[in-house]
Every structure is written in structure tokens, then in C-alpha cells.
Amino acid sequence: MLVHGVLAPALEPPTGYLVWDRVTAAGIWPAGERMAQTILVTGGCGFIGSAVVRRLLANADVAVVNLDAMTYAANPRTDAELTRNPRYRLAKGTICDAAFVRAVVNDCRPAGVVHLAAESHVDRSIDNAAEFLRTNVEGTAVLLDAATAYWRGLGDAARAAFRFVHVSTDEVYGSLGLVGYSAEGAVYEPNSPYAASKAASDHLARAWHRTHGLPTIVTHGSNTYGPYQFPEKLIPLIIVRALRGESLPVYGKGENVRDWLYVEDHAAALTEVLRRGRPGEVYNVGGGNERRNIDVVRAVCAILDELAPDQSGPYGRRIAFVKDRPGHDLRYAVATDKIRAEVGWRPAIAFEAGLPATVAWYLANRAWWEPALAQTDATQRLGLAR
């Protein structure tokens, strides 16, 4: 099950793969090459997006067009790997460019959209919220507009089957105490600029459904982890810093609790919602693996002690408690009864299986993350601005 990354050989980009810097008159799919169904994924070279693309491509009747700006968070090696599949195309550009987005949508004629493109790192949103507002809010509106215009022109059957899945986060619900869960419909209380921008985009997805009839569905995923995550987020950051012999920073006392969701489980939830979700509905997606940050970091250290021991001593000795993130939410946890009952999805990967698989992937795939870090050293502290 946990195989795609752990067992994959070291990644080498194939030569001569195509990148659509702009959609040309010839279109994305040359005449005659269109597949039975094309799904448009945005942000498909990011962490969760690439897992969604892999999952969709596992169905031989599905083609994927990935609209991605290839920001620092997108790894060209991920694209190079996906490009080995002839049913995959990258349309490189931003969701904020209305003419480009319209051209991509109209050319690839998707049966559905899974919208993941976003600025996604809370610490960066504390230092500079502008890009979060542009991509997460304005970009989502641009994409919704293009999808609506295209969807209106479809025949009856295609229009009825079309879905626009807007991928959001549990962070929009704000912080919980140590008990209780946020159910769908809970009040939104976003506390970071990132969460506020995602909340705004969720409202847009809802509004386009209510006002224009576009069959949008919103998902609220919990903290996701696994292979192919840019090493600015907690788990890969700790792995990479440990392997580089650096200190292992833990914000505050490390008591913040997150519900960890393995990336394959998150991707499966999104593709199932695309197939079975009801238009206008909202679904929480949670892993059922609540852990304090400090316990996650200690668990990563223990796995590294086994898989890649440091001769000078256990990795845990390098844990360093650092100044907390401003506005750091104590706990997020979502109720997942609705997606289980209506969509039939449930998480399959326990943290005890997913975490070692993740650590093993980073150990086996330095060629994926080392060049990315050479370009942007994202392991340095951000988001202290007040």
C-alpha cells in the first residue's frame, strides 16, 4: 500500500519532457489524443496535488491536466516523474491569470476539477499575506469563473456529472480545546492569515454554487504528511534538519495537537469526493491520528535512530524549544462521520505505519529534496513578525 515512494527508484528527470509555458493554438491535447475523461487538477506538482494526480492516473481511462505555477513549493522532479505518463500534461501558469485559466479549461474540457493550488505555509503568511490573498482568494475566484462559463456550455449529461472540488483545511475552524471536534457547519474562526485566506476561498466556492449553480464541493483536510512534501513543514523539516546535523526546532512547548492524515488517504478522500460527493456539500477529512507536535518530533527521531543512526548519539538530543508561532492554534480535530457515511471514505494508514514510510522515503530520495533546498533553503525560521 505505502509503496509509491518507498519502493520507487531514485528519481531522474527524463529528457525532453514538455512544459506548457502558455497554452498554444495547438492546444494541450493534440487532436485525437483526448482521453475518455480529463480531470483538471490545480497545484498538481505540490505535495497533496501530486498524490491526487498519481491516484487519478492509476485509472487508464483518465487523463490529467495539471495547472500549476511551479512556485517554490512545486518540485520539478515531481513533474518529471508525472510526465512519464502520457496521460499527464502540465499547463504552467498561475490561477490568477484569467485568460490563461480560461484557455486551459476550454482546451482540456475537463469532466471535473480538483482545486489544490494555494500558498500553504502558515509561517510565510505571517511574514507576507499578500501572495496568500492573491492566489488563495483571487485565484480561486478566477478559476470558479472559468469553470462556470465552461460548465454552462456543456451538454446535459456532462453538466450534471461535472464537479468542482475545492480543497480546504481544518484550520478554518480555528483552535479547539483539548476535547471536542469541529463538524461541517461549525463556525469559521481562522486565526492565521493562511487560514483566513482559505476561509475566504471556501466562501467563494459556496457562493458560486448558490449563485451560479456550479456543482462545487468543499473539503476540510487535516494536517497531512507523507512523501513529496516540501521540507518547510514539520515532519520533513525535522527529517532534513536531523540528517544535516542541525538543531530540531519545536515551537513553544510542542504541546499543539494536530490530527495527522497520510497523504495517500487524503488523495483517496478527494478522488472519492469527486466521484460521489454531493454538489454544494462540505466534507471533513481527518486521519484520526491526534498527536502533540513534540511527540511527532520524538517519533521521527526514534525512527531515524533505527534507520540512519547518528554515531555521535540519538537524534532527540538536538530537539530545541524555540519561540512559539504568533497565534499558534492549540488543537485542530474534525468529525469525519459525514464523509464516512455519504462517500464511504475512511483513512487506511495508521500513523505508526505512515510515519516510518515517510522517513524512509526522505532517506531514499535525497535527489528529490536536496536540489529543492539548494534553491530555497526553507528550513530556516520564518513567521516571527508581529
User: Under the rule (CB under 6 A), what is the footprint of ligand NAD?
Assistant: 42-43, 45-49, 68-71, 73-74, 94-96, 116-120, 135, 139, 167, 169, 198, 221, 223-224, 230
Within 10 angstroms of residue 199's Cβ, the number of other Cβ atoms is: 20
For Cα atoms 55, 120, 281, give the angle at the middle one, nearest 5 degrees: 60
- Shortest gap between Cβ of 292 and ligand NAD (angstroms)? 17
Measured from the CB of residue 187, what is the shortest distance to ligand NAD in angstroms? 19
Is 370 an active-site residue? no
Q: Which is nearer to ligand NAD, 224 or 256 (CB)?
A: 224
Task: Kindly give the pairing relationship between strand 261-262 and strand 88-92.
Answer: unpaired
- Which residue of the set 107, 171, 259, 264 is catalytic? 171
Catalytic residue (one of 194, 225, 332, 362): 194
Residue 353: CB minimum distance to ligand NAD, A: 18
Smallest distance from ligand NAD to CB 314, Å: 28
> Which of 170, 184, 202, 259 is labelled catalytic?
170
Q: Which is nearer to ligand NAD, 296 or 315 (CB)?
A: 296
How far, rounded to the nearest angstrom, does the alpha carbon of residue 336 sit from its chain's CA centroid?
Answer: 19
* Nearer Cβ to ligand NAD (221/356): 221
* Closest to 260 measured CA to CA, from 221, 229, 294: 221
Max Cα separation, the chain? 67
Based on CB atoms, which residue is closest to ligand NAD, 288 or 316?
288
Beta carbon nearer to ligand NAD, 74 or 103: 74
- Chain-centre distance for alpha carbon 372: 17
Identify which of 221, 229, 196 has the alpha carbon closest to the alpha carbon of residue 379: 229
The crossing angle, in degrees rounded to 10, of helices 263-276 and 47-57 is 60
- Measured from the CB atom, the residue of 174 and 315 that comes closer to ligand NAD is 174
Give whichever of 69 and 303 is closer to ligand NAD, judged by the CB atom.
69
Complex with ligand NAD: residue 45 or 250, whichever CB lies closer: 45
Residue 178 beta carbon to ligand NAD: minimum distance, rounded to whole angstroms: 21
Chain residue whose CB lies nearest ligand NAD: 46
Nearest in space to 231 (alpha carbons), one of 66, 363, 353, 56: 363
Least CB distance to ligand NAD at residue 139 (A): 5
Q: CB within 8 A of 265, min separation 6: which ones?
A: 285, 287, 347, 348, 349
Identify the bridge partners of residue 38 per DSSP, sorted by sequence position.
63
Determine whether 170 is an active site residue.
Answer: yes
Q: How far apart are CA 141 and CA 197, in angstroms?
A: 12
How many angstroms separate the CA atoms of 321 and 11, rounded? 35
Minimum Å gap between C-beta 10 and ligand NAD is 21
Catalytic, 272? Answer no
CB of 182 to ligand NAD, least distance (A): 13
Query: What is the set of active-site residues?
Result: 170-171, 194
